[in-house]
Amino acid sequence: MLLLNFRTGIISLISSLWKLEQLVTLNNSIGWRAMINKFATAVSDILSSNQELSELLAYDLIRVEIDVFNRRLYRTDASDFASTAANILQMTKNFTTRAIQTGNVAFVKFILPLVNFLFNNKQWKFTMDVLNDRCFKCHLTDFSRLLASYFYYLFEEKNAPVAAQIATNTFWTIMWPTFEVISTSVRRPAQMLITRDQLLDFLTLLKEATALDFFFGYTCFLFNSTLPASMEEDRPLPSTTISSFKRIFNDHELVWRQLTFDSNSLDVKFIESVIQVLCRNAVLVHPVNANWLRICGDFNFAKENWNEAVIYYLEVIAAVQRSSTTEISNMDAMYTKISIALAALKMPTLAAIVGQLRASIESHLLQVEWLLQGSHNTVDSGPAYFSLIADVNLMEHMAVAYTKLGLPVYVQNLIKSMPTKAINPNNSPQVLQREVERRKKRFLEILFNQFFKQNL
């Protein structure tokens, strides 16, 4: 009977522990606290006489709070986030101070959520100073302290030269083995300060915008360096290959460009895995950040995920049009990629017409014939879009291409859409411009409806 009761008690305890971890997995810290408080009340006599168990529960409370915070970040409303962050941050600082005073190494067991929590709250100085104590000592804290020092000198000390030196010297040196092709030597993994799994776990919970920007710049630079020597993207297709367009937009590349290294030793698949994690977090943290959306589009373009690439590019256009302050450099290169992606999706008419959205259409005109070569096997509405063409030169190049392709019906329909009363060179510039803008706007609406089932 005694043995039966003991077994029943063990099963009940295991069930309770499983339920607690299940609540953590569900990001339900409120339910977790309620259950742990109920447990603490039931065993209050034991806790009062067992300091080790009492501290274990206290540190586990911190673990759960910061882990759930990291996972729910940007999924709660702003006011709830602000109050929760302040409370948990103060609690964390109190317990880290206590751990240093007592020599308790409990934090090492959940150092990853702790580091992510400090980064997500921009605690650069605190990370540098406190995590230097032996109670927190591990490879991940060494990595996080180094990274925190970069942000500290860049944003708090306003010392860009020192920050750049940290990035290009120390950070570059310690991160290279992680991104390098893994050697068959059993001694090679020991050279990594942070393993690949640790880095991916760290980045998965990283939601701080400046840190995401930094890693985007670093990993996109590595990815671009593995591509063949860049050719001029505005050269007509197919005289240049699609691989020439696979470079990812990167406005944080200058800090790395001065470095010399062997790009052939980089592990491209791992770099892609890192960029995928960053893209997932980026659209969660700032879903209308045009630069991040463009990076996501370029990455999907490089992977030939054509539909996803077009969707991201259209989101860039929407973000730019809805903001008076958002600026994106070299939008024409993005429109070229949209054309290629649409052609790959068997939408040649849309691929040709989208070029009219460019600031300069001349180089696009050289690509029209290549873009329209799939017109015999199209899934778009073909001639139905001709009335949306806003550039006479584009109409003429499309007519020439259709003639070469042996599509007289397309040519006839295109001729019918040639200069009307509104879009006529003899009209005043004001009338002509209004009609051009109307057609471009209507074309964008059609394009958005094609991919989002809604208008811009």
208, 155 Cβ separation under 8 angstroms: no
- Which residue carries 């590019």 as its tokens? 313
* pLDDT of 23: 76
- As a residue count, the chain comes to 456
* pLDDT of 6: 42
Percent of the chain surpassing pLDDT 90? 64
53, 46 Cβ separation under 8 angstroms: yes
Q: pLDDT tier at 322 (50, 70, 90 boundaries)? A: confident
Q: pLDDT tier at 223 (50, 70, 90 boundaries)? A: very high
Q: Is the pLDDT of residue 4 over 60?
A: no
The residue that leads in pLDDT, 426 or 10, is: 426
- Which tens digits make up the pLDDT trace of 387-423? 999 998 999 999 999 999 999 999 999 988 876 777 7
* C-alpha span between 316 and 400 (Å, rounded): 32
The residue that leads in pLDDT, 43 or 293, is: 293
Burial 189-215 (b: 16+ CB within 10 A, else e): eeebbbebebbebbbbbbbbbebbbbb
- In single-letter form, the type of residue at position 68 comes to V
Beta carbons within 10 angstroms of residue 93's beta carbon: 14
Q: What letter would DSSP give residue 180?
A: B
Q: Which residues pair with 180 in a beta bridge?
A: 266
Q: Average model confidence (pLDDT) for the chain? A: 87
Q: Is the pLDDT of residue 281 over 90?
A: yes
Q: Which residues pair with 266 in a beta bridge?
A: 180
Q: pLDDT tier at 352 (50, 70, 90 boundaries)? A: very high
Q: Give the CA distances from residue 262 to residues 39, 180, 265, 439, in Å, rounded to whole numbers and listed in that order.
A: 57, 10, 6, 49
Kind plus residue range of the DSSP H or E element containing 434: helix 429-452
Q: Tokens representing 355?
A: 């070029």
Kindly compute the dihedral angle of the four CA atoms of residues 379, 381, 383, 386, in this order, to the nearest 10 degrees: -120
Q: Tokens representing 388?
A: 């949306």
- Which tens digits make up the pLDDT trace of 133-192? 999 999 999 999 999 999 999 999 999 999 999 999 999 999 999 999 987 655 555 579
Q: What letter would DSSP give residue 147?
A: H
* C-alpha span between 221 and 179 (Å, rounded): 12
405, 396 Cβ separation under 8 angstroms: no
DSSP 305-346: -HHHHHHHHHHHHHHHHT-SS---S-HHHHHHHHHHHHHHTT
* C-alpha span between 434 and 429 (Å, rounded): 8
- Which tens digits make up the pLDDT trace of 69-97? 998 888 766 667 777 889 999 999 999 99
**What's the predicted TM-score (pTM) here?**
0.89
* pLDDT of 77: 66
Kind plus residue range of the DSSP H or E element containing 270: helix 268-285
Three-state secondary structure call for residue 266: strand
Kindly compute the dihedral angle of the four CA atoms of residues 352, 357, 359, 365, in this order, to the nearest 10 degrees: 10
Q: pLDDT tier at 3 (50, 70, 90 boundaries)? A: very low
Q: Is the pLDDT of residue 233 over 60?
A: no
* pLDDT of 5: 45
Q: Tokens representing 387?
A: 């009335």
- Which residue carries 């960053």 as its tokens? 278
27, 113 Cβ separation under 8 angstroms: no
Q: What letter would DSSP give residue 181?
A: P
The residue that leads in pLDDT, 368 or 84, is: 368
Average pLDDT over residues 346-350: 97
Q: Tokens representing 93?
A: 């600082």
- Angle formed by the axes of helices 78-102 and 111-120, nearest 10°: 130
